[in-house]
Structure 1
Amino acid sequence: MMNRRSIVVMATVAAILAAVIPLLSIAGYARQRAIEVETEHLKTYSGWTLQRAEQNFSQARHVFDTLEQGAWAACSTAHIARMRELTINSQSVDEIGYFVDGQLACTSWGIVQQDIGIGVPSATLVDGYALYLHITPFVTGGAPLLAISRGDYNVLMKHERLVDVLTDTKMTLGLATLDGQLIAMSGKADGALSQALARGLADGHDQNLMYASAENTHFRAFAITDRSAAFDRMDQELLLLIPLGAGMSVILIGLVVWISRQHLSPQGALQLAIKRKAFVTHYQPIIELATGQCAGAEALVRWRQPDGSFVPPDMFIPLAERTGLIEPLTDLVIQRVVDDLASMLRREPSMHVAINIAACDMQSGRFLPVLSRALRGAGVAPTQVWLEATESGFMDVNAARATIDQARQAGHAIAIDDFGTGYSSLSLLQTLPLDALKIDKSFVDAIGTQAATSIVVPHIISMAHGLRFRIVAEGVETAAQEAYLREAGVQFVQGWLYSKALPLEAFLAFYKARNQRRTAPPPDTEATGLTPPPASPSAG
């Protein structure tokens, strides 16, 4: 938290900036807005130019399709008549040519006697069409035309037809092949700029001109206009924006004053922290008693403050649950865990990580698609992720069962956390298809003492064995507790006897060091909990 002096200083500076910046920046905003609007305007016309080019291209395609479907005697009277008919009926096509062995045999105007080869195309389009950018018509002569060729035919059309788009302001439209060859322009423009736009997509402006471009599978189009076109709009906008800027200054000053008098609410602070992803996950190692090796970890979220300290989870988790912020927080934790441990989990298929799920999420199952996408994207097996929920998460049995069924079908193991501290009953455990039970630290602390709760532990363990649950004991701090739990058949333990919750790098080092002592083959799937066991008969 900032001290009072810092808040006063920052509020004063903010108030000054709030008064000055809107008025100083409004002209800049109007200028930028004018540029953006005109760029979008040019981009729209680039798109329309592409549409116009494709319309002409479609007419050429229709000619090819029609002629190729006919069974013509080459250059017969009927063949030439059909080519002439298609030429006359097309708004785009000026002439059609038919080639035999690469030589022009006839056109829509008659048989050709001279030797005229098809030549080398200027460009080849993705779907087998060839472009010849400058072809002089054999019969009519005149200015060079654009030729589009497919198979034994080509069609000639005027270049300007491809950029024949009616504009609402003065601009130059251009069309090029995707490899940068300029096909047509609707007017004159800077030659270097036109060539640059033909070679690649660009939106922008220089001291004199503005330009934008677009492309499709065949062509690249661009539009160029004088820069003054953009700023013609700016003067009109300034008449509206300057009073608006003054009003914004007043509002911002009032807002700064109001904020400076308020303490950021805990909910607001938490919401901002989630947005800024100001959370890290620490990992408390889970030890397999049978081997002494680290089988995985429980992911524990920590709220990191700007000064490097951490807010305890018991201060913000209940707040998150009350305010509905637990959902984005859960999503953030899932992504953190996957980002942190994906590579380790892929290398160590016997390793698992446990993620705590809030009661509301366990009831709704909302988090499951989020988790599935994260794991699938990282290549992590769902069997390596356990899901833990406290007893309150299972109170609505029907809703919880639906979530559990989906999770277990995906491959996740489900554990009931802090067992014995809430309202669980044997009938609840028998009803739900759970996989594991975690003994709360308060019961582990009572092992070997005369406390009244000391007699609860053997009953919990016996019940869990009867239901074929795997058992994890939390808060193990002494060797005597470890020995008792091992003798009782508890499979997994965690606690300060082994390690506190560790930052990522420290946990990875712990895991490596602990498991270097491995002398036996990895335990089987049932022991490690990589896949949920079959539901017991009582679990339905």
Structure 2
Amino acid sequence: MYFAAQKLGRQLARDSNYIVQHIDAAAAERRQILMRLNNLKSNQCNSNTLIEMRRALFDAQYVIDIGFFTDDQLVCTTGAGKLARTITDNPPDYIRTDTQTNTPVRVRYEPQLYLLLFTSRAMEVIIVRQGNYNLIIDTRAFNDKVIESTQWQVIYKSTDKMFHLAGKNGTYEQVKNSAFLPYESIIKCSTNNPGYCTAAKLPWSQFFADNQFLLIISLILISLAGVSSGLLVDYSLAARRSTITRVRKGLKKGSFYWTYQPIICLRTGKVVGCEALARFEDKYGVLFPDQFIPIIRKANLTWRFTQVMIDKVIKELSTLEVLPSKFKISINIFPCDVETGNVALLKDIPVLTDSRFIICLEITEDEYLDSTVAHAHFKALVEAGFNLSIDDFGTGYSNLKNLQNLSFHQLKIDRTFVQDITTEGLKASMIPNIMELVRKFNYTCVAEGIETNEQEAILKLAGVHYGQGWKYAKPMALYDFKTYLISQKF
């Protein structure tokens, strides 16, 4: 029961910390976007204003729409553009003063808001207005499956009032004023944004219902004492280590192999390159990339993995006489290896620098990249003849500063943007803005995840240069890739 209590307490602490982190991140994003937009001092919604609003939305994680006001009248939004008829702003739930700009921030909770772009879909949002702009913040960011507490609430409390923002209304008052068993509830407030708090509750009954195995362990501890518990803990730790062990051994014993997906010129329909994609299989079965990639990062095996990949990929593709010189081979590089400086060692690997191919290093977006640290490494790699590409653009940490300061040649549009095209979703509406950046920085552009002729036609019309996806071919083993190239009369 002691261990069960500790686990319950840790779970509530994790949930509350997770929610407060989202509160702080959303507040920081709100402050950054509204300060930058208001500093533009626009007094009307014109094409330049809309472009700046959409640029701000493109980088946002929590904000799903931005509006522009004139005299309390909403005149345009990023999703709907300039409105045919203005909309009067509703009064806020509360007003607080921004400590940095000393200007009022109006906040309103809306349990059912219908965006102008999605009039049939009700959304639970928080609306924040400051100056001439307002932001629509989606509360779904808090409703993550990571949260295990059965009830939780995010609130803002002023001197004499409390306002609901997300979660189940009334939870905060219940946790604050009611008596619960030990470890069942928690209240945590943000230190960065005073007034914002979360309350979470996970009853013992529900905890044991969700953790029946833990209840069994508790009964065994009571009846059989320490021997049985020791065996169970040892078994649990062995199971947890097994995947890590498979990955470590796999790097030594060749369990990793690579498949190749062609990259197509949308204008000519010809194959111009390929991306090398990692796969894993050992005697215990298959591990998928979303299983082994996080382990490679966590176990600090990223550079070892990259070395194995380079050795195998270049050696395999060099045997294909059908491939000409200047054929582009894209390989993925971990941002953490840029931060540590390992990436600088690539220019000293003869198999890369002496290759007849163009080597394109794709920097994944799912880790933060310090542009100051990366600049010198990237410059040296470009001088050594490498191409640099931003992978899965629009889903992670890329921003205008990185695009401007780092020596990239290529930008890859993430498949989620392409899949959004046929439904005319919000992400698809960002593609013209992405292509504007591509032209501004003189990049080439590759779209991932193309599956239909309709998607291809829209991307060609937008000016995208290259495509990759199941419309052309799935990732293939070396022999199948060679057969594919011959069939394409490459």
User: TM-score, normalising length from structure 1?
Assistant: 0.45
Point out the structure with the larger helix share: 1
User: TM-score, normalising length from structure 2?
Assistant: 0.49
Higher radius of gyration, 1 or 2: 1
